[in-house]
Amino acid sequence: MILFDTVTKTYRQSTRPALAEVSLEVARGEFVFVVGSSGSGKSTLLRLVIREERATSGRVLVAGRELDRLPDRGVPLLRREVGTVFQDFRLLPNKTVHQNVAFALQVIGKSRSVIRQTVPETLATVGLEGKEKRLPHQLSGGEQQRVAIARAIVNKPSILLADEPTGNLDPATSREILLLLERINRAGTTVVMATHDHEIVNESRKRVLELDDGRLVRDQPEGDYGQLNSAIRGARVMAELDDELREAVAANDPGPPTGATRLLRMPHRHTRSSGSASSGSTSTAATATEERD
């Protein structure tokens, strides 16, 4: 259903690839978790599937289409076969639940009779009967995500992509959303879910793809979130940050702090000034005073 063949994606204005030589295959009807820390390339992977982005090199095949050779006018047809759900739901705030779901069919030219039949069915599938006339802000987070899922599957796509669909939800609601996704999967839809949610991944025992720094480092059937690995990686990120701080101090850049540098300096200033007070080191104390100016 989805095939990546040594896919590399490098964004413009960036030297490091967001995805580096990733090869993977997801079969029809599979349920796959994509895990990895922020910036590891999960979202890029999903964006490549709906051709929101194009691969820099390598081949991407989705639902029998070679996306590199797909003409622009073929992209809408591809996206009708791939439903997408996001962490922030992306509902239209001034449309009701029913209108939000119907919108997805209206804009692809479905007839009124099809809409009248399909939308209530789909809303029943996701467990939102009786809430058709509510506006998104009158719903809980979990309910809003159900609307978003209903919108994604109302056109009966063969693939459902979910980019951290439980990122804004509490654990109990997350579990419900996962159950819903599993139900949709059992009905035949291929589901690819990018997530940070340890518990859900560990409980479900499904195939796990792990990305780290744009590389596919693990493809494990019935896998877990890989807590240990992430902990090590977390420590590594902290160490890198620390290095950057040290370099910033060494350079003692006199320019006005802007954006990120200012953020980086703040904690640093406190540690150093307190350190200088106890050790009495003149050089670091000088740095600290300059920093304060």
Partner 1 sequence: MRLGFVLGELLTGLRRNLSMAVSVVLVTMISMYLLGLGLLAQRQVDTMKDYWYDRVQVSVFLCVQGSQYANCGGKATTAAQREQIRSQLEQMKPPVKDVFYESQAEAFARFKEQFKNSPLGEQATERAFADSFRVSLADASKYDVVVSSFQGAPGVGRVQDQKQLLDRFFAFMNVVSWAAIALSALMVLCAILLMATTIRQTAFSRRRETGIMRLVGASNATIQLPFVMETVVSSILGAGLALTLLWATVRYGVSGYLSRALLDTAFIGVPDVLAVGPWILGGVMGLAVVTSWLTLRRYLRV
d(CA 217, CA 210): 6
Closer residue to partner 1, CB minimum distance, 80 or 265: 80
Work out the burial of residue 93: count CB atoms within 10 Å of its CB; fewer than 13 is exposed, 13-18 middle, 19 or more buried.
exposed
Contact partners, residue 106, CB within 8 Å, separation at least 6 = 115
Return phi, psi of residue 111, to 5°.
-75, 160
Q: Is residue 79 a contact residue for partner 1 (CB under 8 A)?
A: yes
x/- mask, partner 1, residues 112-131, rule CB under 8 A, reads x-------------------
| Span interacting with partner 1, options 147-155, 168-176, 185-193, 202-210, rule CB under 8 A | 147-155
Closer residue to partner 1, CB minimum distance, 27 or 77: 77
How many helices and strands (H and E) does the chain possess? 10, 10
CB of 17 to partner 1, least distance (A): 22
Among 24, 61, 70, 75, binds partner 1 (CB under 8 A): 75
Of 158, 181, 153, residue with least CA distance to 33: 181
Closer residue to partner 1, CB minimum distance, 76 or 234: 76
Sheet containing 57-62, strands listed edge to edge, beginning at the edge strand earlier in sequence = 19-26, 2-9, 57-62, 65-66
Q: Is residue 151 a contact residue for partner 1 (CB under 8 A)?
A: yes
Contact 42, 36 (CB under 8 A): yes
Q: Is residue 209 a contact residue for partner 1 (CB under 8 A)?
A: no
Among 32, 45, 49, 104, binds partner 1 (CB under 8 A): 104
Cα 272 off chain centre by = 37
Closer residue to partner 1, CB minimum distance, 80 or 215: 80
Among 37, 87, 144, 155, binds partner 1 (CB under 8 A): 155
| Residue in the structure block whose two tokens are 């902290």 | 238
Q: Is residue 9 a contact residue for partner 1 (CB under 8 A)?
A: no
Among 90, 116, 156, 183, binds partner 1 (CB under 8 A): 90
Q: In this structure, what token pair is assigned to residue 31?
A: 């349920």
Among 12, 15, 107, 283, binds partner 1 (CB under 8 A): 107
Residues forming the site for partner 1 (CB under 8 A): 50, 72-73, 75-81, 83-84, 90, 92, 103-104, 106-109, 111-112, 151-152, 155
